[in-house]
Each structure stands twice: as C-alpha cells, then as structure tokens.
Amino acid sequence: MKYKNVLVIIPARGGSKRIVKKNIKEICGQPMIFWPLQQLTKIFLSSQIIVSTDDNNIKELVEKKGIKVPFKRPKELSDDYTGTTDVARHALIWFENNIKSVDYVLIVYPTAVLLNKSDIELAFSYLQNDKDCDYVFSATTFPFPIQRAVFENEHGYVSSFNSDNYKKRSQDLKETFHDAGQFYFFKANSLKNTFNFNNSNAKILKLNRNKVVDIDTEEDFEIAEEKMKLLGLLDENHN
C-alpha cells in the first residue's frame, strides 16, 4: 500500500468560542468533520486515522464512522493557545508508542470541507520526491498585492508599510500566498523534532481560491455551502 507509513491526525477540539461545537456543526446535511473524513478514507485505512479531541460528542460521532479516538486529549493541550503541531506531536508519539512507527504525518482540520483527495496525493508526491523538504501545506494567493497593504497609525490616519510599492505595477510585485488551512503533510521526524516554521524547509501546494474557505462565522458556513455545491461535493456524497 502506497500510504501505509502515513498517520493521519485530525485535531478536533470541542471548545470553539465563536461557533459552539463548530467541528460537528451540520453543513450540507452532515457534521462538518465528516466531509474531510469522506475524502481521507478514500486514500487511507481507518486504522491510520486518529481524531485528537477532548470532547465526548465528537468522539461518539467519529467512532460511529469507524474512526479511532484512542485517547482523550489532555487538558493542557485543549486550550485556546495550544498550537496544532503540539497536538499532532502528542498524537504521533502515542501512536508510535502503542501501534507502530510511521514515516509521514498528515494533519487535516475538521473545517477542511473542500478537501480533495487528489490534492493530498499530490502533496505526498512533493514530500516523497524532495529529501530536504520537511513538510508540505496547502496555500492560496492573496486576492490583492499585500505589498500595498496599509494600516492606521497612532493618529488614526493611513500609512503604508512600503510606499515604494505604490510606484510599481501589480504584475511587477512578487506573487504571495497564505495558508489555506486544509492540511499539513510532514515527514514524521520533522514533526517530532522541535518544529519551527523559520528553520524548516516547507513547500506549498497551490490551491485555487475557489477551493478555499475559512469557517469562523455563520456567514462563513453559508459561503462554504455554496462552494461545496459549486464543486459538486454534494453530488459526490450521494453517489
């Protein structure tokens, strides 16, 4: 099996502040976390997928789908300030101590409702074919050149971060990207070591902006549903 040495971790904390129980809130007919699971189970065995949660409702729901929740996430890793890599590292160490060692770790957010298995497969090929690459993550372009960003100064007036960029044509400015918030595909050793974005070799898998949505508000849910319909995900679910 091509992906036999991969562990998939879904960090699904129960304590969302802006939207209560966001990770299992229903979207397009099923709990949100089910949508990325639908794509992941096309590639990986259920025994390769772990949901890291502190919430009993999330545990019950995903276990009905045949996905393991073999431990309850510790309280110190369930607050608003704990980073994703700390949660993933905890799950990886548990898995390797209790099940087996792995070479790769895929982290997927429960909110990744637009996740597509072909993107995961392509990211894995990037990681496999570059011995110096530590991880690959999904990213998309900013809709406007960030080099022309402005801010309000202490007097309440607008200032630019770099006024020289206003003299340049948009096409002459370097294209920039931001994290799409779908997945992070690590080499396991890179994740186990003291991970730091600034001292790692990362590559991006470029996604079209139509395939990216950040779900933090009720309005975001509506936007996500429209995008899911446009991308045919609902039809795929009914096949």
The answer to whether residue 239 scores a pLDDT higher than 60 is no
The C-alpha atoms of residue 235 and residue 229 are separated, in whole angstroms, by 8
DSSP secondary structure string for all residues of 11-53: E--S--SSSTTGGGSEETTEETTHHHHHHHTTTS-GGGEEEEB
The C-alpha atoms of residue 120 and residue 142 are separated, in whole angstroms, by 22
Per-residue burial over 138-163, b if 16 or more Cβ lie within 10 Å, else e, is bbbbeeebebeeeeeeeeeeeeeeee
The answer to whether residue 75 scores a pLDDT higher than 90 is no
Distance of CA 234 to CAs 43, 205, 217, Å? 19, 24, 21
The answer to whether residue 160 scores a pLDDT higher than 80 is yes
pLDDT tens digits for 96-144?
999 999 999 999 999 999 999 999 999 999 999 999 999 999 999 998 8
What does the domain layout of the chain look like in residue ranges? 6-141+176-238
- Could you tell me what percent of the chain has a pLDDT over 70? 94
pLDDT tens digits for 164-182?
888 888 888 999 999 999 9
Mean pLDDT, the chain, rounded, equals: 90
pLDDT attached to residue 77? 80
pLDDT attached to residue 13? 85
Average pLDDT over residues 1-25: 85
Pick the CATH number of 6-141+176-238 from 3.40.50.920, 3.90.550.10, 3.40.50.300, 1.10.3720.10: 3.90.550.10
pLDDT tens digits for 177-230?
999 999 999 999 999 886 677 778 999 999 999 999 999 888 999 999 999 998
